[in-house]
Amino acid sequence: MVTGREETGAGARERDAPGPDALAAELAAARPDLKFTPGLGRALADAVAAAERAWPGLSLPAPRFVAALAPRLAADRPAEAALAELCVGDLYLACACVDGDPRALAGFDRLLVPIVERAAARRGATASQQTDLQQIVRERLLMPRPSAADESHARLAEYSGRGSLRAWIRVVATRETLRLLGRPQREVSGDDDAIAALMPADAGPELEHFKRHYREAFKQAFREAVAALTDRERVLLRQHALDGLSIDRLAEFYGVHRSTTARWIDGARRSVLEHTRRALGRRLHVPASELDSIMRLIDSRLDITLPTLLREPGTPAAPGKPR
């Protein structure tokens, strides 16, 4: 006979969960190189609680989650500060998916499907191709693959938590869309929004002159410049300028040093400018000094203009900042 009220679910899990000191001890055993602070145990307990609230019902014990957090904490700052930099809710979901939790996998799929649909729609994918892409991205992220240590692990296990899981999935979806659909046939919208982005609100005489005389030439020149980019250059510029992925996050994804990613992006940017200059030179037949002046204007505003210019035809601008 059972007397009193029986605890189940979240209440039982909260009652049985390790306390702050136990969680701090778990982390210390896994990462003795970290700089520990008196508030670390409480910070870990709060991180676990926040993750459980974000994804209720997942079967992921707190010690397992702390073990997953341990290798992702930067060693060059106090552990509590390093913990605050991580997207703990996203890491909690990823960790539960790697462990095969059905509810976690269902939640992950709810994130993945609309991201892949948007990436595929930008390339004009058919409904059948969108379905194929969803399955490809699932397999890329969730199917075990051999690691350097001859152990099998899912690609999702490599997610660091230093950026949102949605952005991380978006990078993979973009790459797989390019792989499946090949080189895009339409590159830029070519509408007046691109020129509007080039022009600040207080445009002076030089900008007004550019707007009146070179609008069509610029649109055609930029179309050619983007078409001349390599697939990697085009994807990098879209990831950086349109999707808002930082150099550090791109470096992490591609597995290279941040200086390499910065060099790639700078090279892609310079390629756009060089191709644009050649295309404008063929069309405008103006003195070299005037062409230099035009290019200085484009160079100074290119980073503001790129998100508009790189957007696919028919793709509406997203409200607010890129995610």
What is the per-residue pLDDT across 21-39, written as a single tens digit (0 to 9) for each?
999 999 999 999 999 989 9
Q: Answer whether residue 285 shows pLDDT above 60.
A: yes
Q: How far apart are CA 307 and CA 309, in angstroms?
A: 6
> Stretch 272-294: mean pLDDT, rounded?
78
Q: Which of 310, 297, 300 is nearest to 194 (CA)?
A: 310
Q: Answer whether residue 189 shows pLDDT above 50.
A: no
Task: Say if CB 61 and CB 69 are below 8 A apart.
Answer: no
Q: What is residue 154's predicted lDDT score, i.e. its pLDDT?
A: 79
- Tokens found for residue 29: 């055993």
**Range with the lowest mean pLDDT among 72-86, 96-110, 189-203, 236-250?**
189-203
> Stretch 42-66: mean pLDDT, rounded?
93
Entry pTM:
0.53
Q: How far apart are CA 45 and CA 63, in angstroms?
A: 10
Q: How far apart are CA 3 and CA 225, in angstroms?
A: 76
Q: Which residue has the higher pLDDT, 14 or 229?
A: 229
Q: What is residue 73's predicted lDDT score, i.e. its pLDDT?
A: 92
Q: How far apart are CA 72 and CA 47, in angstroms?
A: 14
Q: Which residues pair with 145 in a beta bridge?
A: 153
Q: How far apart are CA 170 and CA 168, in angstroms?
A: 5
> Stretch 194-201: mean pLDDT, rounded?
47
pLDDT confidence bin for 322, thresholds 50/70/90: very low
Domains of the chain, residue spans: 19-86, 112-181, 192-309
Coil/strand/helix, residue 144: strand
Q: Which residue has the higher pLDDT, 256 or 260?
A: 260
Nearest-Å Rg of the Cα atoms of the chain is 25
Q: Which residue has the higher pLDDT, 102 or 193?
A: 102
